[in-house]
Amino acid sequence: MTPNLAASLYLISGVFFILALRGLSSPETSRQGNFFGILGMVIAISVTFLSFDISLNVLAFVISTLAIGGFIGAIIAYRISMTAMPQLVAGFHSLVGLAAVLVALSAFYNPEA
């Protein structure tokens, strides 16, 4: 993939992220906002995978990890009532923080990677 095409697709995915934020600002347009967010993320991840020479083993690992995490997240989300949604969001945000800590630790202990 050419760098110009990749940059253009990243720009398009950024526009979808902005549209997602706009759509999520109202309950009436939240489904549309979620769709735009998903579309933007699919474009961004696809461009990233197509821009680099990634082995099939790494690609299979990433896709299986995303599938397992999505499956577990969907099960948790379906079991939670709407009144417990703030606690669910807070719990998921703490997992994002944990992921950031693990990335920082891996960069600290292996700076050449």
Sketch the domain layout of the chain as residue ranges. 1-52
Contacts (Cβ under 8 Å, ≥6 apart) of 14: 40
Under 8 Å CB-to-CB from 47, ≥6 apart: which residues?
A: 1, 6, 9, 10, 13
Residue by residue, pLDDT tens for the chain (113 residues) are 899 999 999 999 999 999 999 999 989 999 999 999 999 999 999 999 899 888 889 989 999 999 999 899 889 888 888 888 898 889 889 999 999 999 999 999 988 87
3-state helix, strand, coil in the chain (%, to 5): 85, 0, 15
CA 67, 42, 77, 93 dihedral sign is: positive
Q: Find all residues with CB under 8 Å of 31, minimum gap 6, and list them.
A: 23
pTM attached to this predicted model: 0.70
DSSP 26: S
